[in-house]
Amino acid sequence: MIVGRKKIWLGAAASLMAVASLAAGVLRPDRISPGEARSRASHTEARPAAAATTAHGGAVDCGELRCIALTFDAGPGKDTPELLDLLKKEQVPATFFLLGENHVLKHPKTVRRMATEGHELANHTWSHRILTDLDAEGIRTELARTQDAVERVTGRKPTLMRPPQGRTDREVARVSRELGLAQVLWSATAKDYSTTDSALITRRILDAADRDGIILLHDIYDGTVPAVPGIIAELKRRGYTFVTVPQLLAPGVAEPGAVYKP
């Protein structure tokens, strides 16, 4: 009887663990690192590999180089043209996760300039709603409206999105997949929404920077753009090559619905 009861208990425990595992999957889709994305592509012959090039046409191999991706959320804003001037001068490509309402619509010339100068344009929702708080239709509206707004300005819909606060789940992944959007998180953030101290922003990013990293900044806060020159200069000194997120994953291609995080 003891053995029988033990078997019953173990079976029940295994069932509970399976349920917990399933629940965890519902709450947090699996993450794919840039290195994993590149590795999967190198072992897949079903489709041609994507070429990774810089904004100025040079070849990039992030399997060999110390690559890092500079990304900016929630813009464009009043300081974004100054940021674009700097990126152009330093020949640094970036990925911009754009807000639709009061940003893409308010600054279409800046958005068009981003695309023209070789930066990657991505989706950060319409109004910065937390997507995991919404039903499927709400998620779809937040993402699709920004998709349409960027397409009207540039002629091309984004293929990447970043969920506000990094909050995602299976439903967000499902809707993202329907809209052709891969999800991109980050490995380094300065929490620049909480400080105007440019030196602190610079230090926080440099402390967290690493190979295959994705840096999160916001081009809408007063302390951020002034911090970027120091960040770029020091990371170049350390031997990093700046790339967009798609370049970081190449020859892999971001899969709609998947979540990418270093």
Helix pair angle (2-27, 170-178), 10° resolution: 40
Asked if 218 is an active-site residue, the reply is: yes
Residue with tokens 């937040």: 142
Structure tokens at 217: 């900044």
211, 68 Cβ separation under 8 angstroms: yes
Instruction: Could you list the beta-strand ranges (E) of 82-211.
Output: 95-98, 120-123, 160-161, 182-184, 188-189
Q: Which of 103, 218, 219, 222 is catalytic?
A: 218
Asked if 212 is an active-site residue, the reply is: no
Using alpha carbons, select from 62, 114, 109, 57 the residue that is nearest to residue 88.
Answer: 114
End-to-end Cα separation, the chain, in angstroms: 50
Structure tokens at 105: 């619509």
Distance (Å, whole) CA 179 – CA 198: 37
Q: Which of 73, 192, 212, 219 is catalytic?
A: 73
Using alpha carbons, select from 28, 98, 97 the residue that is nearest to residue 69.
Answer: 97
DSSP letter for each residue of 87-111: HHHHT---EEEE-IIIIITT-HHHH
Grouping H, G, I as helix, E, B as strand and the rest as coil, residue 260 is: strand
Distance (Å, whole) CA 175 – CA 139: 7
Give me the active site residues, please. 73, 218
